[in-house]
Amino acid sequence: MISFTDRDAKDWTWKLPAVERFVADRPLAWLDDDPGQGADDWAADRSVPTLLVKPDGYVGWTDAECGALVNFARRHGTWHCD
């Protein structure tokens, strides 16, 4: 489980340091309506498969987001939820 303890982080996003520590160099599918500034660049720059899914915070995740997550897991042979 990811523990978000860096709420005072001034750069990027307060969530990102905890996510980075938890996933290390493993593939990651991150579902978050507001992952924070810099998350898109961080995801694009990773050397391992990374999917950043940002559902509408007022709608929640839909079949489209669910499908993207399942497809990512199938393509990369990973299915691990913590």
pLDDT tens track for 3-61: 777 666 555 577 888 888 899 999 999 999 888 888 899 999 999 999 999 999 999 98
- Collapse the DSSP code of 43 into the 3-class scheme (helix H, G, I; strand E, B; otherwise coil) and give the result: helix
* Residue the block writes with tokens 């709420």: 7
Return d(Cα 82, Cα 80) in angstroms, integer. Answer: 7
Which residues are within 8 A (CB) of 21 and not within 5 positions of it... i.e. 6 or more apart? none
pLDDT of residue 7: 64
Residue 54 lies in a domain: yes
Tally Cβ neighbours within 10 Å of residue 41: 9
Instruction: State how many domains the chain has.
Output: 1
Residue 65 lies in a domain: yes
Residue 34 lies in a domain: yes
Q: Which domain holds residue 60?
A: 16-76
Tally Cβ neighbours within 10 Å of residue 25: 8
pLDDT of residue 82: 53
